[in-house]
Structure formats: C-alpha cells, structure tokens
Structure 1
Amino acid sequence: MATTLTGGNPHIIQLPKTPTSSVANPQTIIQQWFNKLQAQLSRPDSINLTDLFHTESWWRDMLALDWDMRTLHTASEIQDFLRRRQIQAQLSSFKLQDQGKWKPQIEQVVDGLSWISSVFFLRRPAEKERAYAVYTSLQELKGVEEPLGKRRAEGTTESMPGGLAGGTWIERRKRQKEFLDSEPTVLVVGAGQAGLNMGARLQNLGLSCLIVDKNERVGDNWRKRYRTLVTHDPAEFTHMAYLPFPQNWPQFTPKDKLGDWFEAYASIMELNVWVKTSVVSAEYNDVSAEWKVTVSRGHGTQRTLRPRHVVWCTGHSGEARIPSFSGQESFQGTLYHGSQHTDASESDVRGKKVIVVGTGNSGHDIAQNYYENGADVTMLQRSGTYVITAEKGVFMMHEGMHEDGGPPTEECDIVSESLPFPVQFGLAVHGTKRFAEAEKETLDGLRRAGFQLDFGVDGAGIARAYYTRGGGYYIDVGCSQLIIDGKIKVKHSPRGIAGFGPRELRLEDGNSLPADIVVLATGYDNMRTTVRKVLGDKIADRCQDVWDLDSEGEIRAMWRPSGHPGFWYFGGNLALCRIYSKFLALQIKAVEVGLSTGNRQQQRATKI
C-alpha cells in the first residue's frame, strides 16, 4: 500500500488486498498478537515491530501516548514513536472485549479486503498475524474521573462544599452563573453545539467554565437561520454529550426545535451561559499563562475576566466568503450572501428571476425555498457537486453504528474514530460507489438535467469533502427532484461570473442570465478569520489555519493545540462536537493538573 503525495491531493491510499479465508477462532489470533506486542513493549529501547505490523500500517493515537492527535504511518514510524513514548506511557495488560458487537470477529470490509477487528481497537488483514491499523485513545484521567453512575454527586445540601452555610442548590447556581466568587478557568465563546458540548465536558471534569454568546437566547444560532432548515444528519448520530434525544425525537430536527433543545440542555446540564454578551478585547500573558478578556453584556456593562483558557466555538466556518464582481454597483436587483438568507416568503417573489450561485447544501436549500414561494429559480454551478440522499445514502453511511437499535453511542463514537482519516477515505471510495448504485435513479436524473456531479478526490465522496473542504456536497432533502423535473434550472459555468448588468448576471463564457435576485451561496473563510476579526492580528498570527488534513493525516488545529498558548478551536457537526469535546476537555484538564503544557509545548515541524 502506498500513500500518494503528488498532484496536490495527499493522503490518497490504495487499500490492501487479502485472500478469501476463514478463521476458526479470531479471539485466539488477536490475543496471541497482543501477547507478542506486550513482549516488545516490555523493552522500550529495543522495540522491534517487524513481525507484528505490516510495512504500510497505521497507528492513530488520541492523547493516550502524546498530548495531541497523532497518526503514524508505516511500521518504522510506529516503531520510532513507541520507542520514544513507551517509557512514559507504559502500555501493558491489554484486554480484549470478549462479548457484544466489538468482540473479535472477521469483517468483510469491502470486496477483496477482510480483517479481524476487536476492542482493544485492532484492525488488521486476516491472512497474517500483522497489524494493519491500531487505535489508542485516552478515555479518562486517573484520579479525576467524571462523576458518572456510581460516582455521581449525592446532591443534598449537606454534601455540597461548605454545607448549608454555602446555600441551597439554587442559591449556589445564581452565584456560580455570575462568577461572583471566582474567575472561570475556561472561557468558551459561542453557545452552539460546540460550546454547549464543550461546557458540559469541562464542568464534568471539575473545571469552572463560562460560555458567552452574542445572541438573545441559547439556540438562536439555529433559530435565526433560514426558515425551512432541518438537520441533514439523523437523530442517532446527533446526540449531545451525556443527554441523548428521546426515542420519539424526529430523524431530522427542524432548526427551531433544535434551538429549544439547546436551551433546555444548557439548563439541565447546569451550564453557566451569558447571552447577549460579546468579546470586546483579549490579551494573553505568556508569563502568567493567563488571559485578560473584556466582555460587553446586554445591559450595557462590561466585565473583565481572567481565564487560563479560551475555547473558540463560533462556528466551524469563519467569516462569509463574499466575492465582488464588476458592475455589481449598477445591479438594480437584490444581491446578498447565503448567510443572510431568512425566508423567501418574507416578500412577494412570485415570478421573480432568482439566481443562486453555488450548489452546496445552502445553495440547494435556498433554491428550493425560493421555488416553493413561486420564484423562477436557476442554480449557477461552476464545478461538480457530490450528491447523497437523506432517504438512502445517509442511512447507509451509518449502518451498524449510529442507527436505531445499534450499539451504545459511546462505543460507536470510539469505533467510528478509530481508523486514520486516510484509511477512512480509502474505505469511503467503496462506500461511495455503493451509495451511488442505490441512488442511481436520482443521480442519472440529475445528469440528464445538466447538473454536474463530482464524487470527489479519489471518488471518496462526502467524507473527504467534509474533512478537507468543509463543503462541496449536497445531502438531498428534496431539491434534487425539483432539478430533475426541470422546476429548478441549472446553468453550468466553469469559468464563473464576469459581472453584473442592471438586470442581469453576465458569465465569463459570454452568456448572461436575467436576474431580479442573486444569492451568493459561496461559503465561508477559514475559522481563523473570525479570530482575527474579533481578537485582532496579534492573537490570530500565532494561531494556525483550521481544517483540512495536516502532513500526518489529522485535522489541522481543531480539537487540539492551535499554535497559540491557552487558545483552542472547537467546532464541527453535532456528532463531532459530542465526540471531540471529550478529547479537548481532557487536554485542558491535563494542563490544569500539570500533566501537559498544552499549547505551550513545542509545535512539531510540518513535514513536506
């Protein structure tokens, strides 16, 4: 297996091929492999993995061996990594899960590839006793475990710190929420799915946390989006940390319903949230490892806070990417970015010529919204878009994992993140073909309508598109059929837009489209742009750009050291915010108990 690093598309891999075979006792084979690994780990200075790992093998580590997200590729790189880390990590006493879905078993992963898988998260081709991919992840810190189950708090007034003299629960909550007696250890900026999951995880690890949000209510970041928005991921995939949706929750959640759930979640989880609050300024003291952050509250007052950490949860994307064009000042119609869209029903758009520039999720949803309100809609497409349907493909993606009747969410979260992203992309090539076959009628219809499809780099579909671009796809919730039926038109313009006339959009190919309304569904800049806008150049210059894969194959800067001490980016869809909030909270807790230096540590040089 080889990794291709040419042509601007790194991390394209060729999955190994394995012969068809049967194994009588997978558990015995894996246990024997672990026994051999333990023997090697018992002598860290001379670890030799030649007989245990394939040459082109993988090890993904999330905080168990290094206070960062690491993906090691090739047996020699893994061997060097373990030699450096094992003296401190002291990996030993591996125990296999011997029951349930994740007990040792043979999996036919794709045609031509089978492996034995199990918890302790071992994945390897079945024909040899050599590992293909190993995953280690930190689940808790000894001595500071989360107060879950039998470790939960007693809850009586007498059992609280200071007893009755400290007040009842509600009296304490009022003081805690206002931080009248202390400073928050962590300031979380943004009360969407990222900030709320983050706050819940931090507080459960005993870290005082304040969440600030500029909106009037928790959940307004969803309520204030366009009227017809619903989530594009199913319920079992989108639970929040510690508090899953009820079993009668709809598969796809309307935006206002989700906003109300966020508000209830903040109350139930006893999160300290200040709404109508914006960051005015922030400075970091490298000597004291402390922030000085001034915030403006809705009643006109300011408060200066001194947290040790700032977690930036303002949204996975940064500022709206709004291009400018020749002649747009002379355009007599309406021109705006998709982020400003509310609902087409707010004005009479019947018969109006509407051009939606961009064919991602937002572009499709906005086009559908205008069509349903009587407009004459054309989508302008510059390059191909990946399309998967919510009805079929999305559920196929979650088969056997995050689905009704599936394994516990916590176990699915661990297993779903256990493979390195390049391997996930390699497997996605096969999954994308399978989804396309199931959705052939829809995809063929789109082609006939002139809609350009793109299955992504290496044909890996939505997985690579999301983790590398943050877009470039559409999860179909109805707009595709409107395109197929000719109710929404598509204009393909590879060279893009030349400019505007008084009532038209002029294309670089010499054609023009009559237009009364033009919506630029052109996406967003890097998340770092919001940091620069709010906190200034001094802080932004020390931060790294966010998203896409780094040289090892991990997501850049998100959920891990950002480059700036005491500053962390956090975001993603609902599932990723649930999953990675645990790992970021553990990183911050490790800093606070002296186990890690966090963002103050020497950053690894980027490999070319």
Structure 2
Amino acid sequence: MATTLTGGNPHIIQLPATPSNSPSEPQAIAQQWLTDLQVQLAHPESINLAPLFHEESWWRDMLALDWDMRTVHTATEIEAFLRKRQGPSVLSNFRLQNKGQFKPSWNKVVDSLSWVSSMFFFETAVGSGSGMLRLTQSTEGRWKAYAIYTSLQELKGAEEPLGKRRPEGTTESMPGGLGGGTWIERRQRQQEFLDEDPTVLVIGAGQAGLNMGARLQNLGLSCLLVDKHERIGDNWRKRYRTLVTHDPAEFTHMAYLPFPQNWPQFTPKDKLGDWFEAYAKIMELNVWTQTSVASAEYNDSKGDWNVTVTRGDGSQRVLHPRHVVWCTGHSGEPRVPKFPGQDSFQGTVYHGSQHRDAAELNVRGKKVVVVGTGNSGHDIAQNYYENGADVTMLQRSGTYVITAEKGVFMMHEGLHEDGGPPTEQCDIVSESLPFPVQFALSVHGTKRFAEAEKDTLDGLRRAGFQLDFGPDGAGIARAYYTAGGGYYIDVGCSQLISDGKIKVKHSPSGIDGFGTHELKLADGSALPTDVVVLATGYDNMRTTVRKVLGDKIADRCSDVWDLDGEGELRAMWRPSGHPGFWYFGGNLALCRIYSKFLALQIKAVETGLSNGTRHEERASKI
C-alpha cells in the first residue's frame, strides 16, 4: 500500500488502494494495534514503527507532542518525531472508545479505500487527550496505521469547571468569601479591571473573540475583549441586509452553549448578532464596546504589552496584558483595485465590504456590474436583482459552487447534523485527518455533491458561468483552507443565473479600465453600467495588524492562512512569529474547535510549560 505524492500543486496526494475484506473483529484489531503502539512508546529511544505504520503514513498532532500544530508524513519521519518528542510528552494509558458512533469499526471510505477506525483516549505528562486511529490492511493482511491523530484536550491542574467540577456559586464559596462582595459586585469590578490588568487582551468580539474569551476564562485566565462597535454582534448586524449564515446550525454552535433545538438551520445576521450579545452575558465575558486600540508596544525583557485603548467616551486606558489575540476576522484589509479612467466614471464604484442593501438605493432599471463571483459577489448580485436592477456578474476565472440545500448537508453527514453524535466528539473527528488527506477525500465527496446537484451545475454552464472544482477537484475544502474563498454556497442566486435573470460575463484577462458610463474589459468589449461593486476579496490578515499596530509588530508576525510545508495552516491558532501575539479566526465551527487549542497554548505559556514559539521550520516533502 502506498500514498502517491503528485507534482504541480502542493499537498495533492493519491489515496492508497486497500483490500476490501470486512474484518470480523475491528475492536480486537484496534486494541492490538494500540497496545503495540504503547509498548513502542515506552522506550522512545528505540522506537521501531515498521511493524505498526505503513511507510506512507501520517500523524497529525495538536499540542499532545509539541506545543504547536504538526503534521508528520511517512513512517520514517514519524519515528524520528516520536523519538524526539515522546520523552518529554509521555503519551501513555491509551484507551479505546468503547461505545457510540466512534468505537472501533470497519469503514468503506471510498471505492478503493477502507479502514478500521476508532476514537481513543490517552494521558500525557501534562494532561489528557483524545485521538483517532485509522488502520488499513496491507496486501499481506497486516493492519497498520495510515493516519493517527492526537490532541491535547485538558491540562492537569487546570481542568475546566464543567459538569461535576462546576463552581458552587454561593458567595461564601467565592474567593475571599462575603468580604469579596456578591456575584454582581464582583462582576462590576471584573468588567472594568479595577483591581488588575487582564492576562489576555482579545481584539474583536465576533465569533472568534467570544469563543476565545469563554475558553480562556474557563481555564482561569483573566481576559478582556475590546470591540469598536456599539454593541456586541454589530460585526454581523451591520453587514448587508439579506445575509444569513451558509453553514447549518449543528455545525455552528458556540463553545459550551449550543443553539436551542428550535434554532433555524441558517441564521439571519441580526439574529446571530443578538445571540452573540446574549452569549457574552451568559458566559460572563468582560467586553468593552466602542473601544479601539490607539497604540501597542511589546516589551521583550518583561514579556508583556503596553496597549493604549480609547473608549467610547474618549477616555484612554493603558493595559499591560501578557498576550494579545487578534480576532478581527480571518481576512485582512479589503482588496480594492484601482483602474484607469475610474475617476472620470459618472456612476458609483465601491468595494463589496461597503455593501449594505440595494433597497436603500434607487436602483430599479439601473445597470449594475458585480466584479467577483464568490459568496459576497453572488449575495450582492441577488440583492440588486431583487430590487429591480439589471445585474451582470463579471467572472475572471472559474468558481466552485455547492448548494446549501443539498451539498452542504452531504458534507456533514454522520457528524455535525441533527441527531448526530455529541458536538465535542464530532469536532475531534472532523479535524483528525491531515489536510492533504482531507483534500484527497474531498475529491470523491465533490464528485458526489456534483452528481446530486447536476441540474444546478448544468444550468450554470448553459448560462455561461464558469465552474472550477479546484486543484485535483478537491472543491470547497481546499478553496477555503488555501485561499479563504473562490467558492459560492448557493442560497438562490444560481437559479437566477440559470434563468438569465442575472447575466454573466466571462473576462479571463480582467478589466482594462472605466469609461464615463461603462466598464471596459481587456478583450476590447465594454459593459454599460451605472454601479460597479468590487467583490474582490481581502488581503492577508496581517495587513490589518500592520494598519492598527504598525510595522514594528507586523514585521515580526507571519502571514496567516494557506498551508505551510507540513500541511498545517500558517500562523492561525498557533504561534504567530511574534511573542505574546496570536491570530485567531475562521467560521463559527472553527472558532469553537480551535479556541480550545489556542487557550491551552496560552495557558501552557502562563504555567511555564511552553515558551509560545513555533517549532523549527521543516522542509516540505509534499
């Protein structure tokens, strides 16, 4: 059995072909393998993985073996990694999941690939963790690891106060007893940080900041969130009027507090904003709204920050946190191109980030060109059409399209769905495969989605809309993790395009410039227009850091998003390159999942277990 690496594009692999025989005792197979692994790990200096791992195998680790996100490929590299890391980490006391959906089972993954999989649990020198094993059968009949996942879930001595560990809540049980005041009196002092500086300053109180704040406080770290908006949730409320989430409810829960059972599958933006506001209150988060960062400087010798914030009343406060978490959205500044003749254009030009609602404008009968065919481009085009405009979408290159009605739910089958397993277990499973393996499996999933959505895709093709299923046909997963966009989750615009109600103009070479009443294209043609909306995306998240915090800090940070040489996301949810500075963002589900891992990293720094720096760079083998 072999995993073939292909050239041309990084992180593209060919999945192995395996025997398709269904084993009679997957529990015994998984248990024997896990027992054998523990025997090997007991003597890290002499680990021999040849009997347990295929040569083309993978190990993805989140904080259990290294205070970073790591993907190690090939048995040879895994063996070297374990020899170095198992000594201080001490993975031990392995136990299989023995009930529920993720107990040992044989799974036919795709036509040519099957494996025995199981969730398992383990201990480390500093905490406890969860993982997944996936064993495939060699042609000789031996079961070996194809993909292993380990993730630290809890630190010893810093266990989250959940369930039976929940606080008592009486005034007498609180630190200092009655002398420290009632709950509300304590909250008022905590919210204003009258007695201390926060250990962690979180910039932004959207889904990233709120999940982050809840996780940090649950680990006993004092945390202040600051947000420029008037109310918590305004980062969603103030976006265009028709916006709803494109991911279903079971996938988008917040940490510790799932949506109610009667919550809609797709959440309107204002409803989500209200949920954020309620969440902050229920989770007792310390949030200063109408507050912006005026300046920030890092003190290398002391290992803390001097951050000046300006509050809504104009007053300033200097804070000295040890950590700053940047939660301003996983994109950076709007990417706003400038074209020849634009200043003489007699119509309106603006970036998609400035769009609110076409209903506020007198657009009936007006010609509108939307430049860009990602999610926001489609939503904006649909908004203009529904308010009587003559809309054309300008498409430079192909776009991946999946429907919210079918494909999105197919993506979550067996995991984050109504009646599915517990969210915490789904989160472990969903992140347990290395991204290159996820992409390879997505090739098969993307084909299934396309078959189910054939009518929609054929209608788009007939209308002249160019489809692109991405490198290797991996679809939305690769588009999101490598580019952060380049796809549309259809909530109605595709039918308008298919019906010719919204026109499409394909212009591979882009825009040449503006006339007084037209948009000139590079192919020599022109589109008469009154309004041009540039749905042209955003720069790297680091650009916002540079804009707000300045060059000195931004120059020490890494660019963020896309995959590094190992196949992990660059700088997001992990060391940023700058001490005491962390990037955090993503969709609601990723913010729930990875807030745990970033909170654990910060707690590890505060308890002296980690220095918060990234591992040494390794050459890519992919």
TM band (smaller chain): over 0.9
- Match status 1:541 vs 2:555: yes
Q: Aligned partners of 2:145 and 2:15: how far apart in 1?
A: 14
- CA displacement 1:530-560 (0-9 Å, x = unmatched): 0000000000000000000000000000000
Structure 1 vs Structure 2 CA RMSD: 1.0
Q: CA deviation at 1:604?
A: 2.9
Q: Please name the residue that 1:604 is paired with.
A: 617
Q: CA deviation at 1:124?
A: 1.9
Q: Aligned partners of 2:230 and 2:194: how far apart in 1?
A: 22
- CA displacement 1:41-81 (0-9 Å, x = unmatched): 11111101011101110000000000000000000000000
Q: Aligned partners of 1:461 and 1:103: how far apart in 2?
A: 30
Q: 2:574 aligns with which of 532, 539, 560?
A: 560
Q: Please name the residue that 1:31 is paired with.
A: 31
Q: Please name the residue that 2:285 is paired with.
A: 271
Q: Please name the residue that 1:455 is paired with.
A: 469
Aligned pairs for 1:34-49 within 5 A: 34-49=34-49
Aligned residues of 1:293 and 1:304 also touching (Cα < 8 A):
yes
Please, which moves more after superposition, 25-34 or 441-450?
25-34
Q: Aligned partners of 1:224 and 1:92: how far apart in 2?
A: 50
What code does the residue aligned with 1:598 have? G
- Match status 1:498 vs 2:509: no
Q: Please name the residue that 2:386 is paired with.
A: 372
- CA displacement 1:242-283 (0-9 Å, x = unmatched): 000000000000000000000000000000000000001000
1:359 is paired with a residue whose SS is coil
Q: Please name the residue that 2:216 is paired with.
A: 202
Q: Aligned partners of 2:311 and 2:199: how far apart in 1?
A: 19
Q: Aligned partners of 2:364 and 2:248: how far apart in 1?
A: 33
Q: Please name the residue that 1:123 is paired with.
A: 134
What code does the residue aligned with 1:337 have? H
Q: Please name the residue that 1:96 is paired with.
A: 96
Aligned pairs for 1:93-492 within 5 A: 93-120=93-120, 121-127=132-138, 128-492=142-506
- Identical-residue share of aligned pairs (%): 80
- CA displacement 1:335-373 (0-9 Å, x = unmatched): 000000000000110000000000000000000000000
Q: CA deviation at 1:606?
A: 5.4
Q: Please name the residue that 2:542 is paired with.
A: 528
Q: CA deviation at 1:602?
A: 6.0
TM-score, structure 1 as length reference: 0.99
2:106 is paired with a residue whose SS is strand
Aligned residues of 1:378 and 1:490 also touching (Cα < 8 A):
yes
Q: Aligned partners of 1:412 and 1:344: how far apart in 2?
A: 39
Give ranges in structure 2 of 5+ residues lacking alignment. 121-131
What code does the residue aligned with 1:17 have? A
Q: Aligned partners of 1:397 and 1:5: how far apart in 2?
A: 25
Q: Please name the residue that 1:62 is paired with.
A: 62
Q: Aligned partners of 2:40 and 2:429: how far apart in 1?
A: 25
Q: Aligned partners of 2:489 and 2:246: how far apart in 1?
A: 7
Q: Please name the residue that 1:83 is paired with.
A: 83
Q: Aligned partners of 2:598 and 2:22: how far apart in 1?
A: 41
What code does the residue aligned with 2:297 have? E
Q: Please name the residue that 1:16 is paired with.
A: 16
Aligned residues of 1:57 and 1:133 also touching (Cα < 8 A):
yes
What code does the residue aligned with 1:37 have? L
Aligned residues of 1:355 and 1:378 also touching (Cα < 8 A):
yes
Q: CA deviation at 1:3?
A: 5.4
2:309 is paired with a residue whose SS is strand
Q: Aligned partners of 1:57 and 1:336: how far apart in 2?
A: 49
Please, which moves more after superposition, 84-93 or 439-448?
84-93
Aligned residues of 1:563 and 1:603 also touching (Cα < 8 A):
no
Q: Aligned partners of 1:563 and 1:427: how far apart in 2?
A: 32
Aligned residues of 1:214 and 1:276 also touching (Cα < 8 A):
yes
Q: Aligned partners of 2:489 and 2:458: how far apart in 1?
A: 16
1:72 is paired with a residue whose SS is strand
Q: Aligned partners of 1:301 and 1:377: how far apart in 2?
A: 47
Q: Please name the residue that 1:516 is paired with.
A: 530
What code does the residue aligned with 1:393 have? G
What code does the residue aligned with 1:56 have? E
Dislocated runs of 4+, deviation >6 Å = none
Q: CA deviation at 1:607?
A: 4.5
Q: Aligned partners of 2:471 and 2:332: how far apart in 1?
A: 24
Q: CA deviation at 1:40?
A: 1.2
Aligned residues of 1:106 and 1:126 also touching (Cα < 8 A):
no
Aligned residues of 2:232 and 2:289 also touching (Cα < 8 A):
yes
Q: Aligned partners of 1:84 and 1:527: how far apart in 2?
A: 33
Q: Please name the residue that 2:126 is paired with.
A: none
Q: Aligned partners of 1:356 and 1:422: how far apart in 2?
A: 33
Please, which moves more after superposition, 117-126 or 72-81?
117-126
What code does the residue aligned with 2:66 have? D
Q: Aligned partners of 1:56 and 1:605: how far apart in 2?
A: 18
What code does the residue aligned with 1:177 have? Q
Q: CA deviation at 1:2?
A: 4.4
1:70 is paired with a residue whose SS is strand
Q: Please name the residue that 2:129 is paired with.
A: none
What code does the residue aligned with 2:82 have? L
Q: Aligned partners of 1:294 and 1:227: how far apart in 2?
A: 34
1:402 is paired with a residue whose SS is coil
What code does the residue aligned with 2:400 have? Y
TM-score, structure 2 as length reference: 0.96
Q: Aligned partners of 1:578 and 1:200: how far apart in 2?
A: 10
- CA displacement 1:262-314 (0-9 Å, x = unmatched): 00000000000000000010000111100000000000100000000000000
Q: Aligned partners of 2:20 and 2:354: how far apart in 1?
A: 55
- CA displacement 1:395-445 (0-9 Å, x = unmatched): 000001000000000000001000001000000000000000000000000
Aligned residues of 1:559 and 1:570 also touching (Cα < 8 A):
yes
Q: Aligned partners of 1:3 and 1:543: how far apart in 2?
A: 34
Q: Aligned partners of 1:111 and 1:463: how far apart in 2?
A: 20
Q: CA deviation at 1:5?
A: 6.4
Q: Please name the residue that 2:583 is paired with.
A: 569
What code does the residue aligned with 1:575 have? A
**Equivalences, count:** 606
Aligned residues of 2:295 and 2:308 also touching (Cα < 8 A):
yes
Aligned residues of 1:3 and 1:10 also touching (Cα < 8 A):
no
Q: CA deviation at 1:30?
A: 1.1
Q: Please name the residue that 2:125 is paired with.
A: none
1:287 is paired with a residue whose SS is coil
Q: Aligned partners of 2:6 and 2:540: how far apart in 1?
A: 23
Aligned residues of 1:146 and 1:204 also touching (Cα < 8 A):
yes
Q: Aligned partners of 1:373 and 1:126: how far apart in 2?
A: 59
Q: Aligned partners of 1:91 and 1:541: how far apart in 2?
A: 37
Give ranges in structure 1 of 5+ residues lacking alignment. none
Q: Aligned partners of 2:231 and 2:347: how far apart in 1?
A: 34
2:512 is paired with a residue whose SS is strand
Q: Aligned partners of 1:554 and 1:23: how far apart in 2?
A: 33
What code does the residue aligned with 1:67 have? W
Q: CA deviation at 1:93?
A: 2.1
Aligned residues of 2:392 and 2:503 also touching (Cα < 8 A):
yes
Q: Aligned partners of 2:369 and 2:69: how far apart in 1?
A: 42
